[in-house]
Amino acid sequence: MKICTFDGGRVGVVHDEAVFDVTDIFFPDGLNVPWPYPRGDVVVERLPQLRDRLAERVESGAERKPLEAVKLGPSVATPGKIIGAPINYQPHIDEANADKEINHGKTYTRIDDFGLFLKANSSLAGCDTPIDIGFTDRRVDHEIELCAVIGKQGRAISYDDALDHIAGYTIGLDMTVRGKEFPDFRKSPDTFAVLGPYLVTADEIADPNALDFELTVNGEVRQKSNTRDLVFNVQQLVEYASHMYTLYPGDVIMTGTPAGVAPVKSGDRLVATIEGLGTLATAVK
Ligand code: MN
């Protein structure tokens, strides 16, 4: 099943290039969520118990909108945290170590020497919102990444249990200002966490560690790899992250980017595709 957010706070099921509005199934009494708000995303949290009703809505031939006619929001609207893996493909580690504008004097070794970082929730954007780099004249790079979305709360999750904690997957762009500041700062400007076009539930992805993916900029292939080349695969990332903090439904793990990162400029058209997850097309403002 494919779940999207659209038109400013609506929830949809995507089927055959059409969007079925299912906001009323998730929020029958409106947004009746007690304060303090949950640390997770309530749509992702409620998804397992509502799947039958969502499927019925699609099968009943209910009203729908063409996918291209809606404004897509981020695949997860309110993740409690957006977790990033900084160096998780060896060819990207090699290119970072060869480029002073990326490494700023650091030598990258292994992911578990550097840990993970967090992107601010305010950096989230859907693919129909242009990426805004107008606030800086610094180098801003694209990074295509497979994103795993947590479905079940857990702490210290074992490798063997990790996939049971994943609701689904989506495509992410971890946009990055290059520089020597902490990654959390450089990767958190508004619109720098693009998630789209929708969340694909885990049952549709046989093996998240064997997915072809690529990113083109203005039609030219810039990044192309397969998730089998991840240093820490999806299960290891869940295990590693949850050893440090509790993972909640809706939390997003951006799994890292392969080689080929490069600057973007105003007017660029970015098209990211991951096997089974559709195509995220966006633009730089
Ligand atoms: Mn990244």
Output the CA 142–ligand 1 centroid distance in Å. Answer: 9
CB-based contact 192:186 (threshold 8 Å): no
| Pair 285, 133: CB distance under 8 Å | yes
Distance of alpha carbon 81 from alpha carbon 209, whole angstroms: 22
Q: How many angstroms is it from 87 CA to the middle of ligand 1?
A: 8
- What is the CA 221 to chain-centroid distance, rounded? 20
- Specify the residue for token string 């999750």: 157
What residues sit around ligand 1, an ion, with C-beta below 5 angstroms?
143, 174, 257
What is the Cα 151 distance to its own chain's centre? 14
State in Å: Cα 267 to ligand 1 middle.
Answer: 22
pLDDT at 208: 98
Cβ-count burial 132-144 (b if 16+ within 10 Å, e if not): bbeeeeeebbbbb
Q: How far is the CA of 90 from the centre of ligand 1 (A)?
A: 13
Distance 192 CA to ligand 1 centre (A): 11
Q: Report the alpha-carbon distance of residue 221 to residue 260 in Å, rounded.
A: 9
* Mean pLDDT, the chain, integer: 97
Q: For residue 275, is pLDDT > 90?
A: yes
- 145 CA to centre of ligand 1 in angstroms: 7
Tell me how far the alpha carbon of residue 16 lies from the centroid of ligand 1, in angstroms: 31
153 CA distance to ligand 1 middle (Å): 24
Is pLDDT at 81 greater than 90 in this prediction? yes
CA–centroid distance, residue 264 to ligand 1 (Å): 15
Burial of residue 50, with CB atoms counted within 10 A of its CB: 0-12 exposed, 13-18 middle, 19 or more buried = middle
For range 91-100, the mean pLDDT:
97
Per-residue pLDDT band for 167 (boundaries 50, 70, 90) equals: very high
Contacts for 180-183: CB closer than 8 Å, 24+ residues apart: 180/104, 180/105, 182/117, 183/84, 183/86, 183/117
What does the pLDDT read at residue 30? 84
- Of 141, 205, 139, 121, residue with least CA distance to 171: 205
CA distances from residue 160 to 156, 226, 235, 236, 249 in whole angstroms, order as listed: 12, 22, 8, 9, 19
pLDDT tens for each residue of 188-228: 999 999 999 999 999 999 999 999 999 999 999 999 999 99
**9 C-alpha vs ligand 1 centroid, how far in Å?**
27
Position 33 scores a pLDDT of 80
Q: What is the pLDDT of residue 207?
A: 98
Tens digits of per-residue pLDDT, 14-65? 999 999 999 999 999 887 788 998 999 999 999 999 999 999 999 998 999 9
Q: What is the pLDDT of residues 27-40, one digit of tens each?
A: 998 877 889 989 99
Ligand 1 midpoint to CA 247 (Å): 19
pLDDT of residue 104 exceeding 90? yes
pLDDT given for residue 34 in this prediction: 84
Predicted pLDDT of residue 49: 97
Query: What SS3 string covers the chain?
Result: CEEEEECCCEEEEEECCEEEECHHHHCECECCCCCCCCCCCHHHHHHHHHHHHHHHHHHCCCCCEEHHHCCECCCCCCCCCEEECCCCEHHHHHHHHHCHHHHCCCCCCCHHHHCCEEECHHHEECCCCCECCCCCCCCEECCEEEEEEECCCECCCCCCCHHHHEEEEEEEEECEECCCCCHHHHCCCCCCEEEEEEEEEHHHCCCCCCCEEEEEECCEEEEEEEHHHECCCHHHHHHHHHHHCCECCCCEEECCCCCCCCECCCCCEEEEEECCCEEEEEEEC
